[in-house]
């Protein structure tokens, strides 16, 4: 996946995002340059840093979705960070380096999931053996004689295949087959499972920094054995727990951490949203951190520095930063010059047109109309949207964005939920029905929204 050409990247993004071709081209080139850099000699490779991008445009036009789909396309560690949160929490809360630590955690989860998938078959076999041992133990219980325990220790008498009679072996094999055929999934058994670690600021009073809290918990967590508790669960649930536990045993965490650090440093993507909200310079004092102060805190991370994490030092020189903002009030030029220089590529995303809304409703693989049809299908109700209905939905959504706040494609969710509200509420009474939604149905269902839009035209 790393060697996608820019045209192939754009085609993949087209499957989920309508329009915004200029933004897609820019991120596709930035991604391809990463691949090109990986082919260079080490000396030259170290001199080439990512060309960070600022995406400018109103909310709901696809800024975040482009970044998220891009990261998923090339299997890169990705996090989204709201730039405004650093002005809200102040210096006593999480500092800006927390975004890098979050990226490392995201990478470790991603790599662990990949490793778990690769050992899935072996973990399932081990889980099956554990289930079989609970249902039909192959070993005798430990001796209960205290003197024998002192003299001989906790010895188990192995009731192996040599001593198990043929009938027991046959019973065990039949039980194994029933487990494999999932015929015992609803049966309940009692098992001991590890209690999940409790997290939260309330555990250690006085610590406001979440990163510090997590590191302290991890440091002391290994000093004590994990608590276990008995629970009675269905075999299907126990199987999932055992498979997860067995997969964790098969995963080499040192290898996971090493791969994760490399993935973060070479392929990581950090999406800084609402960067326009920290643009500008304040001269007055106040309880909040100044916007310019936040910019100066973010600057070294974007320029390239080393951040210390519990998994080791992380270099941020080659992490791709994508920033986004509406920039209605402020401009990119309102950012401090040093930060502007670290975002050389500026792309403006256009507001969505009525035609864009039509395409968003039907064309993407996760199109809203496809989602609604699938949701109602689960209740035995078939929905059918005519072409004129789709046109009417797009028209109303477009007008609503013009007369109210422009929230982009998110307006379609508001319109669609209102449209199918009655159908969804009465779905249990419409089992087996085919409901055809045309333009007149749309106008009737959304007449309150249309009237409200008509009135808003006269409000200055």
Q: Are residues 231 and 333 in the same domain?
A: no
Q: Which of 348, 375, 401 delimits the end of a domain?
A: 348
pTM of the model: 0.78
Do residues 278 and 389 share a domain?
no
Alpha-carbon 402 to chain mean position = 32
86 part of a folded domain: yes
Which residue, chain included where needed, has tokens 């001593």?
163
Cα–Cα dist 260/36, whole Å: 21
CATH number assigned to the domain comprising residue 362: 1.10.8.60
In a shared domain, residues 207 and 224: yes
Answer whether residue 293 is part of any domain.
Answer: yes
Do 127 and 239 belong to one domain? Answer: yes
Are 133 and 221 part of one and the same domain? yes
Does 407 share its domain with 380? yes
Is the Cβ–Cβ distance between 235 and 188 less than 8 Å? yes
The residue range of the domain holding 193 is: 121-139+158-250
460 part of a folded domain: no
Residues 131 and 226 in one domain: yes
Q: Is 75 left (phi over 0), alpha (psi -120 to 50) or beta?
A: left
313 shares its domain with 359: no
CB 52 within 8 A of CB 342: yes
- Angle, vertex CA 124, rays to CA 118 and CA 125, nearest 5: 110
How does pLDDT run along the chain (460 residues), one tens digit per residue? 467 899 999 999 999 998 899 999 999 999 899 889 888 998 898 888 899 999 999 888 889 999 999 888 888 999 999 988 887 654 444 578 899 999 999 999 999 999 999 999 999 999 888 888 888 886 554 444 443 443 344 444 454 445 446 677 788 888 888 888 888 888 888 888 776 644 333 333 443 454 555 555 555 555 556 677 888 888 888 889 999 989 999 999 999 999 999 999 999 999 999 999 888 755 444 444 577 888 888 999 999 999 999 999 999 999 999 999 988 888 888 899 999 999 999 999 988 999 999 999 999 988 999 999 999 999 999 999 999 999 999 999 999 888 888 888 899 999 999 999 999 999 989 999 999 999 999 999 988 776 655 544 444 4
Residue 355 CB coordination number (10 Å): 13
Q: What is the pLDDT of residue 385?
A: 94
Residue 150 maps to a domain: no
Res 148: pLDDT: 41
Residue 51 near residue 30 (C-beta atoms within 8 A):
yes
Q: How far is it, in rounded angstroms, from Cα 103 to Cα 222?
A: 24
Last residue of a domain, one of 250, 270, 294: 250
pLDDT at 151: 39
Are 403 and 358 members of one domain?
yes
Which residues have a Cβ under 8 Å from the Cβ of 186 and sit 6 or more positions away? Answer: 234, 235, 236
Query: Would you say residue 148 lies in a domain?
Result: no
DSSP character at residue 324: E
Here the tokens at position 412 are 């379609």
DSSP character string of 142-208: PP--HHHHHHH-S---B--TTTS-HHHHHHHHHHHHHHHTT-STT-EEEEEEEPPPP-SGGGSTT--
- Domain final position from 314, 348, 382: 348
- Number of separate domains in the chain: 3
Kindly report the CATH number assigned to the domain that includes residue 66.
Answer: 3.40.50.300
The C-alpha atoms of residue 56 and residue 324 are separated, in whole angstroms, by 6
Residue 230 lies in a domain: yes
CB 415 within 8 A of CB 397: yes
What per-residue confidence (pLDDT) applies to 452?
55
Same domain, 133 and 234: yes
**Residue 87: predicted pLDDT:** 73
The tokens 């085919």 sit on which residue?
Answer: 434
Please report the pLDDT score of residue 376 as a whole number.
93
* 242: Cβ contacts below 8 Å, ≥ 6 apart: 126, 127, 130, 131
**CA distance linking residue 265 with residue 319, whole number of Å:** 6
How many whole angstroms separate alpha carbon 412 and alpha carbon 396?
A: 9
Is the same domain home to 170 and 217?
A: yes
DSSP 90-106: -TTS--TTHHHHHHHHH
371 found inside a domain: yes
In a domain, 420, yes or no: yes
Residues 336 and 362 reside in one and the same domain: no
């Amino acid at each position: 996946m790393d060697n996608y050409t820019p045209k192939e990247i754009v085609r993949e993004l087209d499957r989920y995002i309508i329009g915004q071709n200029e933004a897609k081209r820019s991120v596709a080139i930035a991604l391809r340059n990463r691949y090109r850099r990986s082919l260079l000699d080490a000396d030259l490779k170290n001199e080439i840093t990512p060309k960070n991008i600022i995406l400018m445009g109103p909310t709901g036009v696809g800024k975040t979705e482009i970044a998220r789909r891009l990261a998923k396309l090339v299997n890169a560690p990705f996090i989204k960070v709201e730039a405004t949160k650093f002005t809200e929490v102040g210096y006593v809360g999480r500092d800006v380096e927390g975004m890098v630590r979050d990226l490392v955690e995201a990478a470790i989860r991603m790599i662990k999931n990949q490793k778990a998938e690769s050992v899935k078959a072996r973990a399932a076999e081990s889980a099956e053996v554990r289930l079989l041992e609970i249902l039909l133990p192959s070993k005798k219980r430990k001796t209960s004689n205290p003197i024998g325990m002192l003299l001989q220790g906790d010895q188990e008498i192995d009731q192996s295949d040599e001593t198990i009679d043929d009938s027991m072996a046959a019973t065990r094999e039949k039980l194994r087959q029933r487990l494999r055929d999932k015929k015992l999934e609803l049966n309940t058994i009692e098992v001991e499972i590890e209690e999940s670690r409790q997290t939260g600021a309330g555990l250690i009073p006085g610590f406001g920094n979440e990163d510090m809290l997590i590191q302290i918990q991890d440091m002391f967590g290994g000093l004590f054995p994990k608590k276990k508790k008995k629970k009675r669960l269905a075999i299907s649930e126990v199987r999932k727990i055992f498979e997860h536990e067995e997969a964790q045993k098969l995963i080499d965490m040192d290898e996971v951490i090493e791969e994760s650090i490399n993935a973060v440093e070479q392929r990581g993507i950090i999406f800084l949203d609402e960067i326009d909200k920290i643009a500008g310079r304040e001269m007055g004092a106040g309880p909040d951190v100044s916007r310019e102060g936040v910019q100066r805190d973010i600057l070294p991370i974007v320029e390239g520095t080393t951040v210390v994490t519990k998994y080791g030092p992380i270099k941020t020189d080659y992490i791709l930063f994508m920033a986004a903002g509406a920039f209605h009030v402020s401009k990119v030029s309102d950012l401090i010059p040093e930060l502007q220089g670290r975002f050389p590529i500026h792309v403006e995303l256009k507001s969505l047109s009525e035609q864009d809304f039509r395409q968003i409703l039907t064309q993407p693989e996760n199109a809203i109309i496809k989602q609604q049809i699938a949701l109602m299908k689960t209740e035995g109700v078939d929905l059918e949207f005519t072409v004129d209905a789709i046109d009417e939905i797009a028209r109303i959504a477009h007008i609503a964005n013009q007369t109210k706040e422009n929230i982009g494609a998110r307006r379609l969710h508001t319109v669609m939920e209102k449209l199918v509200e009655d159908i969804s509420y009465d779905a249990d009474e419409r089992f087996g029905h085919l409901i055809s939604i045309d333009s007149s149905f749309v106008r009737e269902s959304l007449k309150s929204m249309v009237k409200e839009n008509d009135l808003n035209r006269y409000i200055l």
